[in-house]
């Protein structure tokens, strides 16, 4: 549908809008050249740091790709574990510490086990995903369950978190 529109659009404005759209889509594709560089986020966090919660699997064969960086192990998705964006991961300084995730009127404790790499992506180690944005708390389904988020809404949620 999008391709059809891109080739057939006749109004100049529409063409420009769609071209912009097409470039955006192009820009989001993974390029396995290893040349994509994300921005490092600051490692310091306030007592309530804003972040975006995403859903990840930390199990063998899950979409986390590979063993968790902190302990070289897989983790059951029934345990509350998270990966943090590179800046917050801060060279493993939060490894195996717990953070408190606040959302939906609840506070949930989760253990930091992995990095959501904001500087590299697009390889087997990162499940061919593009680099992680710098404001991500990537959580197992146990975290989503504990927050009481209904299953249809799992995947993206504004949260705050703090060291605990």
Ligand X SMILES: *[C@@H]1O[C@H](CO)[C@@H](O)[C@H](O)[C@H]1NC(C)=O
Output the CA angle 73-79-81, nearest 5 degrees: 65
Instruction: Considering the complex, state which of residue 79 and residue 129 has its C-beta at the smaller distance from ligand X.
Output: 79
Minimum CB separation of residue 110 from ligand X in Å reads: 8
Task: Give dist(CA 147, CA 109) in Å, integer.
Answer: 10
Using alpha carbons, select from 90, 91, 97, 93 the residue that is nearest to residue 111: 97
| Residue 93 touching ligand X (CB under 6 A) | no
> With contacts defined by CB under 6 A, how many residues of the chain interact with ligand X?
5
| Residue 162 touching ligand X (CB under 6 A) | no
Using alpha carbons, select from 78, 80, 73 the residue that is nearest to residue 98: 80
Task: Give dist(CA 150, CA 153) in Å, integer.
Answer: 6
| Residue 97 touching ligand X (CB under 6 A) | yes
Contacts with ligand X, 40-79, as mask; x by CB under 6 A? ----------------------------------------
Of the candidates 98, 104, 119, 129, which one interacts with ligand X according to CB under 6 A? 98
- Strand, coil or helix: 20: helix
Interface residues toward ligand X, by CB under 6 A: 96-98, 109, 111
């Amino acid at each position: 549908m999008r391709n059809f529109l891109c080739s057939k659009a006749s109004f100049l404005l529409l063409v420009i809008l769609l071209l912009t759209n097409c470039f955006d889509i192009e820009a989001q594709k993974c390029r396995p050249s290893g040349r994509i560089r994300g921005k490092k986020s600051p490692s310091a966090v306030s007592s309530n740091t804003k972040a975006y919660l995403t859903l990840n699997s930390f199990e063998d064969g899950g979409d986390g790709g590979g063993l968790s960086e902190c302990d070289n192990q897989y983790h059951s998705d029934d345990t509350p574990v998270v990966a943090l964006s590179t800046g917050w991961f801060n060279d493993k300084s939060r490894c195996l510490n717990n953070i408190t995730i606040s959302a939906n009127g609840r506070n949930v404790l989760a253990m930091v086990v992995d990095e959501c790499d904001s500087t590299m992506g697009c390889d087997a180690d990162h499940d061919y995903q593009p680099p992680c944005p710098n404001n991500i708390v990537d959580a197992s389904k146990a975290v989503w369950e504990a927050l009481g988020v209904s299953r249809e809404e799992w995947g993206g949620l504004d949260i705050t978190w703090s060291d605990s």
